[in-house]
Amino acid sequence: MPVGVLSIGSHTPDRVVDNQQISAWTGMPESWVTERTGVLTRRYAEPGTATSDLALPAARQALDGVSDEVRERLGALVVATSTPDVPQPSTAAILQHKLGLSLLPAFDINAVCSGFLYGLSVAEGLLKAARHGEYVLLVGADMFSTIMDRSDRRTVSLFGDGAGAVLLGEVPEGYGLQSVRLVTDGEFHHYVGVEGGGTRTPLDAEARAAGKHYFRMDGRAVRDYALSVLAKLTALTLDDCGLALEDVDRFVFHQANTRLLETFVTDAGIDPDRVAYTAPHLGNTVAASVPLTLHATHRERPLRRGERVLMASVGGGMTAGAALLTWY
């Protein structure tokens, strides 16, 4: 039973944060931000917005793309996020209520920027188990603007807010997900993260004063890891399918930053005309990055039946994933 994308949706907030603003926050010249990251603008949600609020329009758009009959047979809701509304309950449970759904299982996945790829694998497993309906709604949503130290040029220059969603269901043989590869290298969990707020470092006044509620990242270590693991997973995924780079019609990579992605594409020998980019204008939207970029390339030039799309991402943990999708 092949599983494929039946409908897609996305949403970004209205507020645009340009490099002039980043320069004011960090004291770095606009030219430094542009040259080092290739990110020109990013979107921030307004104060008082929760991740489920950002996810709601994307989820509705994906649901609006299918019939009432399909919506009635929805079996599960999965939300990939590392910036949940609250520590508990899950953002998926809150989003389920906002969508007017009930009873079907709803839960979160936290694989940071790899969350959407992890969600694809989980959703595929749910559908193939045939125990929870015939369709799964998968949402990737994050609001990293809420965990940014705005004086930290290494992070605030990169990240933005956004949400993307896909409705997954059975498709004919030869279409849908052909391979999904996932890895976690916990040895490198310290490369990125938020130290405060969990059981190891409760978010008390002392932790907050030390800035432990902010996201931190070892940019050089992440870059080196990303370039290495993306190359390996891309090769393994293509090998699973008996394909070469030239057989892929479009590449949808996690938009960590424009410069990193350009380096990887060049090093891998990928035709840049086949690579979708949203990082220049949306930045790194974390778990939303892959579905947002997939939707953007589909809007710009609609995917045709039979086109092959390779998706890949790297995230905190360190986590990584890749998938080969034949569009239906």
What would the DSSP string read from start to end of 227-252? HHHHHHHHHHHHHHHT--GGG-SEEE
113 belongs to the catalytic site: yes
Alpha carbons 188 and 19: distance in angstroms, whole number: 30
Catalytic residue among 11, 19, 113, 295: 113
22: left (phi over 0), alpha (psi -120 to 50) or beta: alpha
pLDDT computed for residue 130 by the predictor? 87
Tell which CATH classification among 3.40.47.10, 3.30.40.10, 1.10.8.100, 3.40.50.1820 matches the domain 177-326. Answer: 3.40.47.10
pLDDT computed for residue 1 by the predictor? 87
Residues of the chain predicted below pLDDT 50: none
241 belongs to the catalytic site: no
Catalytic residue among 19, 110, 254, 295: 254
pLDDT computed for residue 248 by the predictor? 99
* Structure-block tokens of residue 277: 């980019």
Beta carbons of 79 and 91 less than 8 angstroms apart: yes
- Note if the pTM is more than 0.95: yes
Level-2 CATH architecture, domain 3-174? 3-Layer(aba) Sandwich (3.40)
CA angle 253, 147, 34 (to 5 degrees): 50
| End-to-end CA separation in angstroms for the chain | 14
Domain ranges across the chain:
3-174, 177-326
pLDDT computed for residue 207 by the predictor? 92
- One fold for 3-174 and 177-326: yes
Catalytic residue among 110, 257, 284, 295: 284
257 belongs to the catalytic site: no
